[in-house]
Amino acid sequence: MRETIKRFQPALIILVFIALFSLSLTTDVSAYSIQEGVNAARGNGQPGELFGSTGVITLLTNTLLFIVGALSVVMIIIGGLRYVISGGNSASVTAAKNTILYAIVGLVISFLAFAAINFVLNTITGGGNAGTNV
Protein backbone atom coordinates (compact mmCIF):
# COMPACT_ATOMS: atom_id res chain seq x y z
CA MET A 1 0.00 0.00 0.00
CA ARG A 2 2.80 2.40 0.89
CA GLU A 3 4.63 1.59 -2.33
CA THR A 4 1.53 2.49 -4.34
CA ILE A 5 1.18 5.81 -2.52
CA LYS A 6 4.87 6.55 -3.01
CA ARG A 7 4.59 5.75 -6.71
CA PHE A 8 1.63 8.11 -7.24
CA GLN A 9 2.83 10.81 -4.84
CA PRO A 10 4.31 13.16 -7.50
CA ALA A 11 1.12 12.94 -9.57
CA LEU A 12 -1.02 13.66 -6.49
CA ILE A 13 1.10 16.68 -5.56
CA ILE A 14 0.76 18.06 -9.10
CA LEU A 15 -2.99 17.42 -9.09
CA VAL A 16 -3.46 19.24 -5.76
CA PHE A 17 -1.34 22.13 -7.03
CA ILE A 18 -3.43 22.42 -10.21
CA ALA A 19 -6.67 22.31 -8.20
CA LEU A 20 -5.51 25.03 -5.81
CA PHE A 21 -4.19 27.16 -8.67
CA SER A 22 -7.45 26.87 -10.62
CA LEU A 23 -9.46 27.86 -7.53
CA SER A 24 -7.41 31.02 -7.22
CA LEU A 25 -8.26 31.98 -10.82
CA THR A 26 -12.04 31.76 -10.50
CA THR A 27 -14.09 34.76 -11.59
CA ASP A 28 -17.70 35.77 -11.21
CA VAL A 29 -19.44 33.92 -14.04
CA SER A 30 -22.92 35.06 -13.13
CA ALA A 31 -22.35 38.31 -15.02
CA TYR A 32 -22.14 36.44 -18.32
CA SER A 33 -25.12 34.94 -20.08
CA ILE A 34 -25.08 31.87 -22.24
CA GLN A 35 -25.95 33.90 -25.33
CA GLU A 36 -22.94 36.16 -24.76
CA GLY A 37 -20.76 33.07 -24.62
CA VAL A 38 -22.24 31.75 -27.84
CA ASN A 39 -21.74 35.10 -29.54
CA ALA A 40 -18.15 35.28 -28.32
CA ALA A 41 -17.37 31.78 -29.60
CA ARG A 42 -18.91 32.36 -33.04
CA GLY A 43 -16.42 33.48 -35.64
CA ASN A 44 -16.83 36.28 -38.17
CA GLY A 45 -19.15 35.44 -41.04
CA GLN A 46 -20.71 32.41 -39.38
CA PRO A 47 -24.50 32.26 -39.10
CA GLY A 48 -25.81 33.10 -35.67
CA GLU A 49 -29.22 31.48 -35.81
CA LEU A 50 -30.39 27.93 -36.36
CA PHE A 51 -33.57 28.68 -38.31
CA GLY A 52 -34.52 31.21 -40.94
CA SER A 53 -33.23 31.93 -44.40
CA THR A 54 -29.63 32.32 -43.15
CA GLY A 55 -29.76 29.67 -40.42
CA VAL A 56 -27.45 26.72 -39.90
CA ILE A 57 -30.16 24.10 -40.46
CA THR A 58 -31.26 25.77 -43.69
CA LEU A 59 -27.67 25.90 -44.92
CA LEU A 60 -27.19 22.23 -44.03
CA THR A 61 -30.35 21.03 -45.79
CA ASN A 62 -29.59 23.11 -48.88
CA THR A 63 -26.06 21.71 -49.05
CA LEU A 64 -27.22 18.12 -48.61
CA LEU A 65 -29.94 18.58 -51.23
CA PHE A 66 -27.36 19.92 -53.68
CA ILE A 67 -25.04 16.95 -53.03
CA VAL A 68 -27.86 14.41 -53.45
CA GLY A 69 -29.04 16.14 -56.62
CA ALA A 70 -25.54 16.18 -58.10
CA LEU A 71 -25.01 12.51 -57.24
CA SER A 72 -28.37 11.61 -58.80
CA VAL A 73 -27.48 13.39 -62.03
CA VAL A 74 -24.11 11.62 -62.10
CA MET A 75 -25.79 8.25 -61.53
CA ILE A 76 -28.34 8.93 -64.30
CA ILE A 77 -25.45 9.71 -66.67
CA ILE A 78 -23.61 6.55 -65.59
CA GLY A 79 -26.80 4.51 -66.08
CA GLY A 80 -27.25 6.02 -69.55
CA LEU A 81 -23.67 5.18 -70.49
CA ARG A 82 -24.13 1.63 -69.19
CA TYR A 83 -27.30 1.36 -71.27
CA VAL A 84 -25.54 2.58 -74.41
CA ILE A 85 -22.53 0.26 -74.05
CA SER A 86 -24.58 -2.78 -72.97
CA GLY A 87 -24.50 -4.14 -76.52
CA GLY A 88 -27.92 -5.73 -76.25
CA ASN A 89 -26.95 -7.97 -73.35
CA SER A 90 -30.17 -8.32 -71.36
CA ALA A 91 -28.41 -8.47 -67.97
CA SER A 92 -26.46 -5.28 -68.71
CA VAL A 93 -29.57 -3.51 -70.01
CA THR A 94 -31.50 -4.45 -66.87
CA ALA A 95 -28.66 -3.28 -64.63
CA ALA A 96 -28.45 0.04 -66.52
CA LYS A 97 -32.23 0.57 -66.29
CA ASN A 98 -32.11 -0.19 -62.56
CA THR A 99 -29.32 2.35 -62.10
CA ILE A 100 -31.38 5.04 -63.81
CA LEU A 101 -34.54 4.05 -61.93
CA TYR A 102 -32.86 4.06 -58.53
CA ALA A 103 -31.19 7.42 -59.23
CA ILE A 104 -34.56 8.95 -60.11
CA VAL A 105 -36.22 7.38 -57.06
CA GLY A 106 -33.41 8.74 -54.86
CA LEU A 107 -33.86 12.19 -56.35
CA VAL A 108 -37.62 12.13 -55.74
CA ILE A 109 -37.12 10.93 -52.15
CA SER A 110 -34.58 13.69 -51.50
CA PHE A 111 -37.01 16.34 -52.77
CA LEU A 112 -39.79 14.90 -50.61
CA ALA A 113 -37.47 14.90 -47.60
CA PHE A 114 -36.55 18.51 -48.36
CA ALA A 115 -40.24 19.43 -48.47
CA ALA A 116 -40.87 17.61 -45.18
CA ILE A 117 -37.95 19.37 -43.48
CA ASN A 118 -39.17 22.75 -44.71
CA PHE A 119 -42.67 21.97 -43.47
CA VAL A 120 -41.36 21.06 -40.02
CA LEU A 121 -39.06 24.11 -39.86
CA ASN A 122 -41.88 26.42 -40.93
CA THR A 123 -44.13 24.88 -38.30
CA ILE A 124 -41.50 25.26 -35.58
CA THR A 125 -40.48 28.80 -36.48
CA GLY A 126 -44.01 29.95 -37.16
CA GLY A 127 -43.80 30.54 -40.90
CA GLY A 128 -41.26 32.37 -42.94
CA ASN A 129 -39.14 31.10 -45.76
CA ALA A 130 -36.84 28.56 -44.13
CA GLY A 131 -34.84 26.65 -46.69
CA THR A 132 -36.22 28.33 -49.78
CA ASN A 133 -32.99 29.80 -51.10
CA VAL A 134 -31.65 26.77 -52.97
At 93 the pLDDT is 93
When divided into structural domains, the chain yields a total of: 1
Residue at 132 is within a domain: no
Q: Residues 113, 72: contact at Cβ < 8 Å?
A: no
Residue at 24 is within a domain: yes
Residue at 130 is within a domain: no
Domain limits for position 99:
2-125
Residue at 134 is within a domain: no
Classified as helix, coil or strand, 133 is: coil
* Averaged pLDDT, groups of 10, the chain, 134 residues long: 71 73 58 64 66 70 86 93 91 94 91 84 65 49
Instruction: Show the CA angle centred on residue 104, arms to residues 103 and 106, nearest 5°.
Output: 65
Residue at 35 is within a domain: yes
Tell me the whole-structure pTM to 2 decimals: 0.53
At 90 the pLDDT is 92
At 24 the pLDDT is 62
At 130 the pLDDT is 47
- Distance CA(73)–CA(22), nearest Å, equals 57
Residue at 65 is within a domain: yes
Cβ-Cβ contacts under 8 Å for 65 (sequence gap 6 or more): 110, 111, 114, 134
